[in-house]
């Protein structure tokens, strides 16, 4: 079906993207000279259909820094498989030179130095330029948004997603699926979805009361492009009411529902679809498993777990494309569809180097318009960092260490818990920390920083429960986030063990004493999924803390010891 030759074409496209020479210098000037917009966009148009995939933008309208994880462990069948390969191992796997633009865009290691050279990434005005260039090659290319778009910034919070809807509408997507959007609450989601000029898809979005497909979201949409009848099937995040507060959208039920996915694939094939695309917010490992169970999907455009892969992963006759997060990448997938079958593909993951790609003037003006009412609040400098602040990693990140410190200090707690979310841009050493930066890692509709008591025994249950959501060997039982971050609490984790046996040696760091199962500990945290949570919003807690510190100096975090790799 997909010949070896077509796979080689893909690899060659990736090699062209990655480049092999001249990118060794870390100087910004060198980066700009070596890397051109034409080079980033270079693509021999192939076949008769083009797909453009963006996903997990998390409301990042402007260019940002974003450090990819150095710790992203796979378990079970995914141990050592992409996307669970990081840093130098990742570069070796894909033949990426150290210090090259691809190193900076796709992997961790030397991040601060490379960021100083290559500059910021993303910005929807740059993304617009890339989309326009692809549309110049292929005017009827399909633009598909994998969701997590209407969440994650100061302006998105204050406009209840309107800023993102306005800018995305101007990019003219053809379809979208969902996750964090639902945390705007069902009423707001209904209002925004009803006004969308493109398809809102989710075959797994069900009415909770009747357990039948929800009326507001279609399972799929047909498109005629390049003479090909294409079906795009949506797959929303399966565990919305579990990972996020279900009480905010009680009308809806989700789940993977792969048997219903198979029904939808069979239905669209019966109606003459020659190409079946799944626009998914499952997360990469779940998509991989689903691709092995559901037959008849040609392309899965994968979102949720924020992985950026320079080549698609093939499972049977299905290719899975992972397009990163935070506006950092755009994927272009050209397909040759003939006689009702996908005969070949050519793919390129295009990194959005913001200093290299010219912003689209119209979208840039539209973005400025969304931000103008908040300009002063966004730009206010709260403090400064002399180290790297980042979030991604299975167990901790320096942003979360800072948030946990803020909770311990401002909420006078012994232990802090911070959710293992994967969104939020990075800051490089020497940068000012603005209010916008703080909101970039804290913005959400359930931000209350609670202060409570938990027994040692219950803390262990929390850690075991969350660990199983990441390290259950069956991807269908994973939720796609990272481990809950702890402040004031150290522990050992053996990721190869079953639930209940992974966490040992829990220690109260302040005293070095073992956590007593029977004792009550004062715990501060945020982002509780429980209704009625009380406390000041986390961004206020973090802002006060940074203001008091003046300059933030992130230290290495050694509180978690990982075994069973």
Q: Give yes or no for residue 3 binding other proteins (CB under 8 A).
A: no
Q: Give yes or no for residue 242 binding other proteins (CB under 8 A).
A: yes
Q: Give yes or no for residue 493 binding other proteins (CB under 8 A).
A: no
Q: Give yes or no for residue 423 binding other proteins (CB under 8 A).
A: yes
DSSP string, 514-555: EPPTTSEEEEEE----STT--S-BHHHHHHHHHHHHSEE---
Q: Give yes or no for residue 353 binding other proteins (CB under 8 A).
A: no
Q: Give yes or no for residue 94 binding other proteins (CB under 8 A).
A: no
Which of 189, 230, 233, 243 lies at the binding interface for other proteins (CB under 8 A)?
243
Q: Residues 263, 307: contact at Cβ < 8 Å?
A: no
Q: How far is the CB of 255 from other proteins (least distance, A)?
A: 5
Q: How far is the CB of 182 from other proteins (least distance, A)?
A: 10
Which of 500, 504, 516, 561 lies at the binding interface for other proteins (CB under 8 A)?
500
**Token match 């809807």: residue?**
165
Could you give the 3-state DSSP secondary structure of residue 422?
coil
**For other proteins, which is the closer residue by CB, 283 or 387?**
283
**For other proteins, which is the closer residue by CB, 111 or 182?**
182
Pairing of strands 503-508, 520-525: unpaired
What SS3 string covers 117-139? Answer: HHCCECCHHHHHHHHHHHHHHCC
Stretch that binds other proteins, among 337-345, 372-380, 428-436, 466-474 (CB under 8 A): 466-474
Which of 174, 311, 482, 543 lies at the binding interface for other proteins (CB under 8 A)?
482
Q: Give yes or no for residue 391 binding other proteins (CB under 8 A).
A: no
Q: Provide the β-strand partners of residue 127.
A: none
Q: What is the size of the binding site for other proteins (CB under 8 A)?
A: 63
Instruction: Measure CA of the first residue to CA of the last residue in the chain; give whole Å.
Output: 36
Stretch that binds other proteins, among 135-143, 335-343, 370-378, 417-425 (CB under 8 A): 417-425
Stretch that binds other proteins, among 262-270, 271-279, 502-510, 533-541 (CB under 8 A): 533-541
Q: Give yes or no for residue 30 binding other proteins (CB under 8 A).
A: no
**For other proteins, which is the closer residue by CB, 76 or 255?**
255
Helix axes 284-293, 258-270, angle to 10 degrees: 60
Contacts to other proteins from residues 176-195, by CB under 8 A: 179-180
Q: Nearest Cα to 382, choosing from 430, 425, 426, 434? A: 434
Q: Give yes or no for residue 522 binding other proteins (CB under 8 A).
A: no
**For other proteins, which is the closer residue by CB, 245 or 359?**
245
Which of 487, 535, 537, 554 lies at the binding interface for other proteins (CB under 8 A)?
535
Q: How far is CA 200 from CA 55, 175, 193, in A?
A: 14, 6, 7
Which DSSP letter does residue 77 get?
G
Helix ranges (H only) for 107-215 are 111-118, 124-137, 154-158, 162-171, 186-194
**For other proteins, which is the closer residue by CB, 318 or 469?**
469
Q: Residues 200, 167: contact at Cβ < 8 Å?
A: no
Q: What are phi and psi of 435, to 5 degrees?
A: -60, -40
Q: How far is CA 350 from CA 62, 238, 334, 508, in A?
A: 17, 28, 13, 45
Q: Give yes or no for residue 420 binding other proteins (CB under 8 A).
A: yes
What SS3 string covers 37-64? Answer: HHHHHCCCCCCCEEEEEECCCCCCCCCE
Q: Give yes or no for residue 458 binding other proteins (CB under 8 A).
A: yes
**Token match 């040696």: residue?**
505
Q: Give yes or no for residue 477 binding other proteins (CB under 8 A).
A: yes
Which two structure tokens, joined as six digits, stand for 202?
A: 């989710």
Q: How far is the CB of 440 from other proteins (least distance, A)?
A: 15
Q: How far is the CB of 76 from other proteins (least distance, A)?
A: 14
**For other proteins, which is the closer residue by CB, 55 or 385?**
55
Q: How far is the CB of 54 from other proteins (least distance, A)?
A: 16
| Overall residue count recorded for the chain in this entry | 565
Q: Give yes or no for residue 259 binding other proteins (CB under 8 A).
A: yes
Which of 120, 306, 347, 410 lies at the binding interface for other proteins (CB under 8 A)?
306
Which of 94, 154, 217, 239 lies at the binding interface for other proteins (CB under 8 A)?
239
Q: Give yes or no for residue 65 binding other proteins (CB under 8 A).
A: no
- Residues in contact with 179: Cβ distance below 8 Å, sequence separation at least 6, in sequence order: 147, 148, 236, 237, 240, 244, 281, 303, 304
Q: How far is the CB of 308 from other proteins (least distance, A)?
A: 14
Residues that bind other proteins (CB under 8 A): 179-180, 208, 211, 237-244, 246, 253-256, 259, 283, 304-306, 419-423, 448, 450-455, 457-458, 461-462, 464-466, 468-469, 472, 474, 476-477, 479-482, 484, 499-500, 525, 527-530, 532-535
């Amino acid at each position: 079906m997909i010949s070896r030759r077509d796979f080689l074409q893909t690899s060659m496209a990736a090699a062209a993207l990655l480049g092999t020479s001249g990118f060794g210098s870390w100087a910004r000037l060198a980066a700009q000279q070596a890397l051109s917009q034409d080079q980033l966009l270079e693509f021999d148009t192939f076949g008769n259909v083009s797909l453009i995939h963006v996903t997990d933008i998390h409301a990042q309208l402007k260019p940002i820094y974003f450090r990819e994880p150095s710790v992203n462990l796979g378990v079970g069948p995914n141990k050592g498989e992409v996307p669970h390969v990081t840093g130098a191992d990742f570069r070796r796997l894909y033949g990426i030179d150290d210090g090259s633009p691809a190193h900076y865009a796709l992997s961790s290691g030397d991040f601060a130095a490379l960021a100083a050279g290559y500059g910021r990434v993303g910005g929807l005005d740059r993304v617009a330029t890339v989309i326009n260039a692809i549309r110049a090659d292929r005017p009827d290319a399909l633009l598909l948004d994998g969701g997590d778009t209407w969440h994650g910034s100061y302006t998105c919070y204050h406009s209840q997603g309107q800023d993102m809807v306005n800018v995305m509408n101007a990019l003219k997507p053809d379809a979208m699926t969902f996750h964090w959007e639902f945390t705007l609450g069902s009423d707001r989601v209904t209002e925004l979805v009803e006004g969308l000029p493109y398809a809102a898809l989710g075959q797994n979005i069900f009415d909770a009361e009747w357990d039948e497909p929800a009326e507001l979201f279609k399972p799929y949409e047909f498109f005629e492009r390049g003479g090909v009848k294409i079906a795009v099937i949506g797959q929303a995040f399966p565990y919305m009411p579990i990972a996020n507060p279900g009480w905010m959208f009680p009308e809806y039920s989700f789940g993977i529902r792969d048997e219903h996915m198979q029904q939808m694939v069979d239905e669209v094939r019966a109606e003459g679809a020659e190409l079946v695309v799944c626009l998914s917010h499952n997360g990469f490992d779940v998509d991989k498993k689903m691709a092995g169970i559901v037959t008849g999907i040609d392309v899965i455009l994968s979102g949720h777990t924020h992985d950026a892969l320079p080549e698609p992963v093939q499972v049977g006759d299905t290719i899975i494309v992972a397009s990163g997060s935070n506006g950092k990448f755009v994927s272009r997938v050209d397909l040759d569809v003939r006689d009702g079958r996908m005969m070949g593909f050519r793919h390129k993951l295009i990194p959005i180097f913001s200093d290299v790609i010219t912003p689209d003037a119209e979208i840039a003006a539209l973005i400025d318009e969304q931000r103008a009412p908040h300009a002063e609040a966004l730009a206010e400098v709260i403090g400064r960092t002399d180290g790297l602040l980042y979030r991604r990693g299975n167990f901790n990140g320096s942003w979360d260490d800072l948030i946990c410190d803020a909770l311990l200090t401002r909420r006078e707690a012994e232990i802090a818990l911070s959710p293992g979310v994967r969104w939020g841009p990075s800051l490089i050493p020497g940068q000012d920390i603005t209010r916008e930066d703080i909101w970039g890692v804290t913005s959400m509709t359930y931000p209350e920083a609670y202060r409570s008591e938990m027994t040692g025994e219950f803390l262990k249950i929390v850690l075991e429960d969350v660990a199983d959501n990441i390290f259950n060997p069956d991807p269908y039982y994973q939720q796609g986030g990272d481990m809950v971050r702890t402040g004031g609490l150290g522990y050992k984790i053996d990721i190869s063990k079953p639930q209940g046996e992974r966490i040992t040696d829990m220690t109260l760091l302040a005293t070095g004493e073992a956590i007593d199962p029977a004792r009550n500990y004062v715990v501060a945290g945020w982002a509780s999924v429980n209704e009625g949570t009380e406390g000041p919003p986390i961004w206020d807690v973090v802002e006060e803390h940074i203001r008091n510190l003046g300059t933030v100096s992130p230290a290495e975090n050694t509180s978690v010891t990982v075994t069973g790799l």
